[in-house]
A and B are shown apart, each in its own frame.
Chain A
């Protein structure tokens, strides 16, 4: 037993072994650490190790420094110091979340951030919507749908992949394409309808809506002070400058 304890301690010292709590029964579970990983962890203090493990557990969604404090019970300055140390060693990286741009999120440097963090393919590296990329994709998609007349999101996606229109490292998912197509529907460029199996069909809009209405064609329709305009008042139709310009042939 003593020998076994000594061996465990020795492995723990060299970071070749990890002790985890068992999910059931309250006992301990031992996990072997790969040699390369162990080399990385060499020279870390217990606290550094604790924080590293906390960050590793967060996976590709990353963890906020405030959450690290809550989980490790370390003080904030201490956490900041350790995070800086781990970042310098290249073990963790800072990631910007599109959801909470002000939060400092960290994850293991070898992981790719999740979609919730990056915002998906439509966001640039700076965490902002990549407008030019979206417009380019919309143009390509529209010309394909005009050519096809009616198609589904999957068909559009296949077209994009086959023609290598999207050069992102992670391929576009059907959800991403549906989001793009739905936006074209909301912009009035496409129309959509469910088919018998529940799949959404898209086609170019037959009618692009009205250009103007009788209300918007007269000055009052676009007047910001329409509710303050009263005959005999300081703002009135008789003295209205908008009208004067409109009627000034």
Chain B
């Protein structure tokens, strides 16, 4: 991964008025350059930085050696500079040129100023409430200029490259700080620049963070943001509580402009471009750029909405945009996802998954090119043993890894942007009985439209994990250079992936009596799309489901023994297989389909290697019947054995509810003590009770019960004050006040706290790493062979402490993420 960031900082000297136009000049100063490239690790590499305005060079070229870096790792360097101020006149633009010059080999230009490079114009810095500008660089892809208020003193503007094709450079950031001459205009300009700035006299706004996804030092991938934002609770249009706990929740690259658009979509719901422009308050080019970024990172979905035709037969068609809060939040599983991929499918698959996580969605050729260029760079530097033994991964190996990911349902096809918006699910209690529609009526047309909408989505789900036919033929089987045994690949995919075939169907015999589903319109052509036209993305939603299923099986295992855990896992896997056969989404249904003993036994046999501690193969029929006979068991038996085979189903919602309840109860016990927990369970069992009844039934003092109830009300766990008057005058003294356990609110509060805790763990990890930056630098030098191991021996105790601290924080983060999987599972 190579990345460059340069920062231009305004001089504190006011600029002279005039210039080429009527507006004021800006003064710019180059303050920081950050370079990320494997070339940095090579001894003797230098960095050449120069910036140009339209009228000529603004700074003399600066040559930087690695010894000038104030932060240096094997692949990144940061330089702090103090250049003389340069002026940017009205109507002028500025662009920078950053080149890495190694001792041997070709120089690498990361940013250029030629034709097709990014130029940022004077007026762009002065636009009202503009915080971001997009720019297309022919060399490396798209850049976005972003305001930042790092340090809270001066607004800073950053340029971030968002995505690349197959080029070597991955990301570039350039920061510019503008400062206006007239002192009275400074505050206003800052407000314009940042879009977040305070009015004079107000407290300075909080710094806006930038986010980078990096590999953790201990092997796991951990996002380490250099800055952090305070938590914000957002209520999305659907009324679901969303915690935009930290910027990483909104994707791996999270500049301010994207965040503005994401917030506008979350607050106002699905919108067209015009509406979004008004609600986000951004100029159209910036809005479009931000939307593209959000869509690229799967944080926003785009739907093609066609209005019913009017009397003249004209139908208005518009593109709608919808924020996907759940997808954003699933991003927290990324580290666990990468570990899971590495463990189950090997290092190449992990590299593919990492590329997809970094870029959101990519075509196969883009993945291959990105990985191969990375390998080439590593090999040219001779970094690490691995690079020397396998200089470059062949394209077929990368392709095979991608296909394995798709078969394991860890990677999926990105949805096309012309899908219609999904229909809103109406709660069964709220559904009204409608009379049969008359042929040719408006209602019938409505129904047909709705059916077409459903079919379009069903067609996508049918091909979501389908491997393109042209890849099926070229795919190389079972080469596992990274040590992953492909023989067990289907079984190792975890719960819900029992032997998926290349076409997305499932191993094992189709149960007799199941009719072949009718092909959906559109599936055929989507399935036959050439691989070159398909964008792939990681399926964190599917992974979330998998984590959830694992938790359910573990819970049942801890309650009823390992055999029960294995059988429940088998039931969930068999259910997932049936859904795949039917082309339904994996999350479908509150209860599994009816499964025969033989079907469950087959699924258990496939998944047995996963069942740690299950011991000998479980007696599936016996375990199933004992589970069905258990009290409050989610396993339900159906059928009459003498007449036919007995079948079983699993109440997924019930099992998940019990699991959530367990997590909630630990928190309630911690917060309100055993009495509080007793009250909570009583209210859950009795639905609603008066305060005195609560005290009587819980065998508690009335005063204690009152204190506990009010504490739970304050924490949002209990709902109180539901009043039922005993007399018509509604006198308070003659009114029953009822209390309820508010499970939904408690779950929502718990989820928010999980996000806050995850964000805080993250922030503390970043803080600990930044506090020990010097130590980490020594470690990097030792790893790169630039310093001897003696350098570490001197600070062995410091090193072991930071290792334990990061291990503890990273483990905490992963565990909190797994807990979140339960609460985001619906």
**A residues lining the B interface (CB < 8 Å):** 99, 122, 128-129, 134, 179-180, 182-183, 185-188, 191, 193, 203, 206-207, 209-218, 220-222, 226-227, 229-233, 236-238, 240, 243, 246-247, 249
**CB–CB A220/B756 < 8 A:** yes
B753 within 8 A of A: yes
Chain A residue with Cβ nearest B704? A129
* Extra pairs beyond A185-B681, A231-B227 (7, CB < 8 Å): A186-B685, A186-B698, A207-B558, A214-B819, A216-B666, A218-B761, A220-B761
**CB–CB B231/A221 < 8 A:** no
Measured CA separation A183–B331 after assembly (Å): 42
**CB–CB B207/A209 < 8 A:** no
- Nearest-neighbour CB distance to chain B for A208, whole angstroms, equals 10
Measured CA separation A230–B192 after assembly (Å): 25
Chain A residue with Cβ nearest B809? A247
**CB–CB A238/B818 < 8 A:** no
**CB–CB B812/A232 < 8 A:** no
Selected from B228, B696, B698, B801, the residue in CB contact (under 8 A) with A231 is: B228
**CB–CB B228/A232 < 8 A:** yes
What residues on A are CB-neighbors of B759 within 8 Å?
231, 237
Known contacts A182-B697, A237-B763, A240-B764: A231-B558 contact under CB 8 Å? no
Known contacts A129-B701, A134-B699, A218-B812: A249-B801 contact under CB 8 Å? yes
- Scan residues 766-816 of chain B and give those whose CB is less than 8 A from a CB of chain A: 767-768, 801, 804-805, 808-809, 812, 815-816
- Nearest-neighbour CB distance to chain A for B36, whole angstroms, equals 24
What residues on B are CB-neighbors of A229 within 8 Å?
756, 760
- Nearest-neighbour CB distance to chain B for A246, whole angstroms, equals 8
**CB–CB B764/A238 < 8 A:** yes
**CB–CB A237/B231 < 8 A:** no
**CB–CB B760/A237 < 8 A:** yes
**CB–CB B763/A236 < 8 A:** yes
Interface string of B105-147 (1 = CB under 8 A from A): 0000000000000000000000000000000000000000000
Measured CA separation A182–B696 after assembly (Å): 12
Measured CA separation A128–B674 after assembly (Å): 20
- Nearest-neighbour CB distance to chain B for A120, whole angstroms, equals 9
Chain A residue with Cβ nearest B750? A215
- Scan residues 333-388 of chain B and give those whose CB is less than 8 A from a CB of chain A: none
List the 5 closest A-B pairs by CB distance, nearest first.
Answer: A214-B815, A230-B230, A231-B228, A220-B757, A238-B767
- Nearest-neighbour CB distance to chain A for B739, whole angstroms, equals 15
Q: Which of A215, A216, A229, A232 has the most CB of B within 10 A?
A: A215
- Nearest-neighbour CB distance to chain B for A195, whole angstroms, equals 11
Known contacts A186-B698, A220-B753: A232-B230 contact under CB 8 Å? yes
Selected from A206, A207, A214, A240, the residue in CB contact (under 8 A) with B818 is: A214
What residues on B are CB-neighbors of A230 within 8 Å?
206, 230-231
**CB–CB A213/B699 < 8 A:** no
**CB–CB B760/A203 < 8 A:** no
**CB–CB A203/B229 < 8 A:** no
**CB–CB B665/A186 < 8 A:** no
What residues on A are CB-neighbors of B815 within 8 Å?
214, 217
Chain A residue with Cβ nearest B820? A214
B280 within 8 A of A: no
- Nearest-neighbour CB distance to chain B for A185, whole angstroms, equals 8
Measured CA separation A212–B700 after assembly (Å): 26
- Nearest-neighbour CB distance to chain B for A152, whole angstroms, equals 14
B632 within 8 A of A: yes
**CB–CB B667/A221 < 8 A:** yes
- Nearest-neighbour CB distance to chain A for B608, whole angstroms, equals 24
Chain B residue with Cβ nearest A99? B692
**CB–CB A215/B699 < 8 A:** no
Q: List 23 A-B contacts (CB under 8 A).
A: A179-B697, A182-B682, A185-B681, A186-B678, A187-B677, A187-B678, A210-B666, A213-B666, A214-B816, A215-B663, A215-B667, A215-B753, A215-B819, A216-B670, A217-B812, A220-B757, A220-B761, A231-B230, A236-B763, A237-B759, A237-B763, A237-B764, A247-B764
Interface string of B43-64 (1 = CB under 8 A from A): 0000000000000000000000
Q: Which of A122, A180, A232, A236 has the most CB of B within 10 A?
A: A232
Measured CA separation A211–B558 after assembly (Å): 13
What residues on B are CB-neighbors of A211 within 8 Å?
666
Known contacts A129-B700, A221-B757, A240-B764: A186-B681 contact under CB 8 Å? yes
**CB–CB A128/B763 < 8 A:** no
- Nearest-neighbour CB distance to chain B for A54, whole angstroms, equals 24
Interface string of B697-715 (1 = CB under 8 A from A): 1111100000000000000
Measured CA separation A155–B25 after assembly (Å): 92
What residues on A are CB-neighbors of B663 within 8 Å?
210, 213, 215
Selected from B230, B665, B768, the residue in CB contact (under 8 A) with A233 is: B230
What residues on A are CB-neighbors of B757 within 8 Å?
215, 218, 220-221, 226
Measured CA separation A82–B560 after assembly (Å): 68
What residues on A are CB-neighbors of B229 within 8 Å?
231
Selected from A227, A233, A243, the residue in CB contact (under 8 A) with B764 is: A243
Chain B residue with Cβ nearest A243? B764
Interface string of B680-700 (1 = CB under 8 A from A): 011001000000100011111
**CB–CB A210/B667 < 8 A:** no
- Nearest-neighbour CB distance to chain B for A192, whole angstroms, equals 8
Interface string of B544-561 (1 = CB under 8 A from A): 000000000000001110
What residues on A are CB-neighbors of B422 within 8 Å?
none
What residues on B are CB-neighbors of A193 within 8 Å?
631-632
- Nearest-neighbour CB distance to chain A for B287, whole angstroms, equals 28
Measured CA separation A238–B767 after assembly (Å): 6
- Nearest-neighbour CB distance to chain A for B187, whole angstroms, equals 21
Known contacts A230-B231, A232-B230: A220-B760 contact under CB 8 Å? yes
Measured CA separation A210–B819 after assembly (Å): 13
Selected from B206, B750, B805, the residue in CB contact (under 8 A) with A232 is: B206
Measured CA separation A170–B546 after assembly (Å): 57
- Nearest-neighbour CB distance to chain B for A7, whole angstroms, equals 48
B754 within 8 A of A: yes
- Nearest-neighbour CB distance to chain B for A83, whole angstroms, equals 26
B662 within 8 A of A: yes
Chain B residue with Cβ nearest A191? B631
- Nearest-neighbour CB distance to chain A for B81, whole angstroms, equals 26
Measured CA separation A182–B805 after assembly (Å): 45
Measured CA separation A187–B207 after assembly (Å): 47
Known contacts A207-B559, A216-B670: A128-B682 contact under CB 8 Å? no
What residues on B are CB-neighbors of A210 within 8 Å?
662-663, 665-666
Known contacts A232-B207, A249-B804: A214-B228 contact under CB 8 Å? no
**CB–CB A218/B816 < 8 A:** yes
- Scan residues 214-239 of chain B and give those whose CB is less than 8 A from a CB of chain A: 227-231
- Nearest-neighbour CB distance to chain A for B247, whole angstroms, equals 11
Selected from B206, B671, B701, B756, the residue in CB contact (under 8 A) with A128 is: B701
Measured CA separation A227–B231 after assembly (Å): 9
What residues on B are CB-neighbors of A128 within 8 Å?
701
**CB–CB B559/A122 < 8 A:** no
Q: Which of B560, B692, B756, B801 has the most CB of A within 10 A?
A: B756
Measured CA separation A203–B631 after assembly (Å): 10
Q: Which of B665, B760, B812 has the most CB of A within 10 A?
A: B760
What residues on B are CB-neighbors of A243 within 8 Å?
760, 764
What residues on A are CB-neighbors of B678 within 8 Å?
183, 186-187
- Nearest-neighbour CB distance to chain A for B678, whole angstroms, equals 4
Q: Which of A220, A231, A238 has the most CB of B within 10 A?
A: A231
- Nearest-neighbour CB distance to chain A for B557, whole angstroms, equals 11
Measured CA separation A213–B809 after assembly (Å): 15
Measured CA separation A185–B684 after assembly (Å): 12
**CB–CB A226/B756 < 8 A:** yes
What residues on A are CB-neighbors of B667 within 8 Å?
213, 215-216, 221
What residues on A are CB-neighbors of B701 within 8 Å?
128-129
Selected from A129, A207, A226, A247, the residue in CB contact (under 8 A) with B808 is: A247
What residues on A are CB-neighbors of B665 within 8 Å?
209-210
- Nearest-neighbour CB distance to chain B for A173, whole angstroms, equals 14
What residues on B are CB-neighbors of A236 within 8 Å?
763
